[in-house]
Structure 1
Amino acid sequence: MTFSIVARSDDGRLHGVAVASKFLGVGALVPAAEAEVGALATQAQANLAYRPQGLAFLRTGLGAADAVAGLVAADSGRTHRQLGVVDADGTGATYTGADCHDWAGGQAGTGWAVQGNILVGPQVVDEMRDAWLGGVDRRFPDRLLDALRAGDLAGGDRRGRQSAALLVVGRRGGYGGGSDVVVDLRVDDHPDPVTELARLLEVHRMLFERPDPETLRELTGELADEVSRLLAGLGFRGDRSELDARLAAWAGVENLEERLVPARIDPVVLAHLRARS
């Protein structure tokens, strides 16, 4: 019912899963990941116990292939399961039970595992693999999404489209540095879920990523005057001496607080302020 990619970033800092299916809320069932431990996708007649059990195996230092073997060996329904795992070292492994609905299969290599069932054919997995391998210059979440999109464009789930999800973890990479969840986005019921997932990733990036220091602009002179005027027009009035506080108050309402830097402004924040005005 599903096609997915499980992967680790080339620098070893991030693990993630991207998945799509003709199934309601696939993101609530298939992906699991833990920072600096590994990631997995459980699908077909998904055994949800694979998620905590698989991460527990990986946490002890078990490799991807051994984790797969351990999970399916203890499962009487293993012939109906499909599973992809990437461990902390980046080794990938995939498993497809003999009774998964055609077309079903997977491939794995260093840093990735791709698998799917009830697909239009093996080209879905081939295209996902090629997109992943060809995306070395892409940011990790985009690279995962590119692979998912390639599978979707190759025909994906032969029953159609419904849901998609993207999960990325990295040590202290989440909101405010207080979480390991870098990205956790789900499209539960949509006619074009992979495209919608890509849109949500862009919104997530705008709201929650920290600014690039090289692009920050000094809040002085004419720029400071403009920002002050725009804030006042939106109801955040005050003196120029209070500009940082006024900008912070507005950014908090807009959920842009992660992009604030005292006495400077992120071009993303500036563009959003101008658009809101």
Structure 2
Amino acid sequence: MTFSIVARSADGQAYGVAVASKFLAVGAVVPAAEAEVGALATQAHANLGYRPQGIALLRTGVTAAGTVAGLVAADPGRAQRQLGVVGAGGDGATYTGDACPDWAGGVAGDGWAIQGNLLTGPQVIDAMRDAWLDLSGDFAARLLGALRAGDLAGGDRRGRQSAALLVVAKGGGYGGGSDVLVDLRVDDHRDPVAELGRLLDIHTMLFGRSDPADLLDLDGDLAEEVAGLLTAAGYPPGVGDLDTALAAWAGVENLEERLAPGRIDPVVLAHLRTPAA
């Protein structure tokens, strides 16, 4: 009922799962991940017990292949299960039970595993693998790119309904207060993978971080422009108080994660310059 990718980032600091299906709220069922430990996807006739049990095995240092072997060996319903796992190092691992509905299968490599069932054909998995290996840059965007490739190659042969993206990294969550870097779900939509992409774009704008080298000093003409824009938006700065006014505006716009005292993120500036802002 599903196609998914589980992966570890190139630097080993993040783990993630991207998944899509003709199934309501697939993100509530398939993905699991823990920072500095690993990630997994349980699907077909999903065994939700695989999620805590698999993470527990990975946490103790069991490999991805060992985790898959341990989970399915203890499961009398293994023939109907499909599973993908990545751990803190080495290759990912994937498993497809003999009773999973056609087309079903998976592939795995260094730090990734891709699997699907009830697919239009093996080209879905091939397209996801090729996209994952060809793409570079932002980890969440790579996961989404692989999912999008599978969707465009045919995806679930029953159609489309939901998609989800989960990425974890130590201290990567909002304000550094959690390890959940990205947790986006499209539970019921005609084109869920495209909608997931739209949500990820918004998430990146609001919560991403620009390279410190790209931040702009808030002085001279730029400071005057920003002060004018803030005033027009209803946040007039007092003398020498541009940072406070900018922070007040950014808090309303949910851009507070991109603030830097005495400087401005180009993404924040672009949003401030947008009439709708």
Counterpart in the other structure of 2:263: 264
1:153 alignment partner in structure 2: 152
5+ unaligned residues in a row in structure 1: which ranges?
none
Q: Deviations over 1:8-40 (max 9, x none)?
A: 111111111000000111111100001111100
Paired position in structure 2 for 1:206: 205
1:59 is aligned with what amino acid?
A: R
Whether the 8 Å CA contact 1:7–1:90 is kept in 2: the answer is no
AA aligned opposite 2:202:
V
- State the shift of 1:57 in Å: 0.5
| Alpha-carbon distance in structure 1 between the residues aligned to 2:269 and 2:137 | 25
- In the alignment, the residues of structure 2 paired with residue 82 and residue 149 of structure 1 have an alpha-carbon distance, to the nearest angstrom, of 20
Give matches, 1:225-244, under 5 Å: 225-244=224-243
Amino acid at match of 2:82: Q
Measured against aligned partners, the alpha-carbon deviations of 1:232-256 in whole angstroms (never above 9, x if no partner) come to 1121123231111010001001110
Structure 2 counterpart of 1:29, one-letter code: V
Task: Give 1:165's aligned amino acid.
Answer: A
Quote how far apart the aligned CAs of 1:114 are: 0.5
Counterpart residue number, 1:195: 194
Structure 1 letter corresponding to 2:95: Y
Does the CA-based 8 Å contact 2:237-2:244 persist in structure 1? no
After TM superposition, list the pairs within 5 Å mapping 1:125-140 onto structure 2.
125-135=125-135, 137-140=136-139
Residue 124 of structure 1 contacts residue 156 of structure 1 at CA under 8 Å; is this kept in 2? yes
> Shift in Å at residue 226 of structure 1?
1.3
Q: Equivalent residue for 1:141?
A: 140
Cα distance, 1:263 vs structure 2: 1.0
Deviation per residue, 1:55-97 (Å, 9 max, x gap)? 0000010011111111111111111100000111142100001
Q: CA deviation at 1:154?
A: 0.5
Instruction: Give the corresponding residue for 1:169.
Output: 168
Counterpart residue identity of residue 6, structure 2: V
| Residue identity opposite 2:98 in structure 1 | A
8 Å CA contact 1:90–1:112 kept in 2: the answer is no
Pairwise CA RMSD of aligned residues?
A: 1.0
Check the 8 A contact 2:9/2:15 in 1, yes or no: yes
- Correspondence 1:22 to 2:50: no
Q: Residue 166 of structure 1: CA displacement?
A: 0.6
Residue 253 of structure 2: aligned partner? 254
Partner letter of residue 193 of structure 1? P
For residues 31 and 203 of structure 1, the distance between their equivalents in structure 2, rounded to whole angstroms, comes to: 22
Deviates more, 1:172-181 or 1:25-34: 172-181
Matched residues in 2 for 1:255 and 1:227: separation? 18
Moved more, 116-125 or 216-225: 216-225
Determine the C-alpha separation between the residues in 1 that align with 2:107 and 2:242.
Answer: 54
1:2-151 matches, within 5 Å, as 2-135=2-135, 137-151=136-150
Cα shift at 1:210: 2.2
Taking structure 1 as the reference length, the TM-score comes to 0.97
Deviation readout 1:213-268 (Å, 9 max, x if unpaired): 11111111121111111111121123231111010001001110011011111111
Percent identity among equivalent residues? 72
CA contact (8 A) 1:230 1:273 kept: yes
Partner letter of residue 130 of structure 1? D
- Tell me the TM-score normalized by structure 2: 0.97
- Map of 2:177 onto structure 1: 178
Q: Which runs of 5+ in 2 are unaligned?
A: none
